[in-house]
Amino acid sequence: MFRTRIKICGITRSEDALAACEAGVDALGFVFWARSKRAVTPDMIRPIVAELPPFISSVGLFLDPDADEVKRVLDGLPLSMLQFHGNESPAFCRRFGRPYLKAVGMGGPDPRAYAAQYPDAAGIMLDSHAQGQAGGTGAAFDWRQTPHDLGRPLILAGGLMPSNVREAVRIVRPWAVDVSSGVERAPGIKDAQAIRDFVAGVRMADADASTREPSR
């Protein structure tokens, strides 16, 4: 049975990171965009990253940073992957020697044409925000309009929560899902039970589709 990967973004606290790991997620996201309600600094999350168990990826989210900003974060943190949500060029995204995800806002340009500009991205994240925004709005787009011919693994984001993720995964069959506000009690403060329920919803969707060929 295919297992949809799960990323919890907007982590700001150690207890939330550990709750997510215990629930069975694959990756944690940390937001390095100062205007976000979930913004963190390397000093804030260094202890969190240091205590992550094996095989959990740590992902740094950026929105139109300058190169020095990204380098400062990487100098102090062993991040596994970078995630870019702005108008960063393909050359900029690849210059840091880390795998990267490129977010494509479904409220922006044609996602197929946009994704084609980033052929070396580890994955393409489809979110509900307009291009150049960070996401985390809690709004979903019409999953039935999801393009699957992006040439890279598809990560689904935007408006996901425990109550709808099973349907979203059933419709889209993405490589991975990404959630932030959908498992929160307040911006940056996660709810451990909501995380467990979210993971359970994804696993139920995987079981639903165990006899189907996924389109990823």
User: Could you say which of 9, 21, 93, 178 is catalytic?
Assistant: 9
Q: Which two tokens stand for residue 18?
A: 């550990």
- Residue 68, C-beta contacts closer than 8 angstroms, at least 6 positions apart: none
- Give the strand pairing for 154-156 and 123-127: parallel
9 is catalytic: yes
Distance CA(145)–CA(38), nearest Å, equals 29
User: Could you say which of 16, 21, 93, 127 is catalytic?
Assistant: 127
Give me the active site residues, please.
Answer: 9, 127
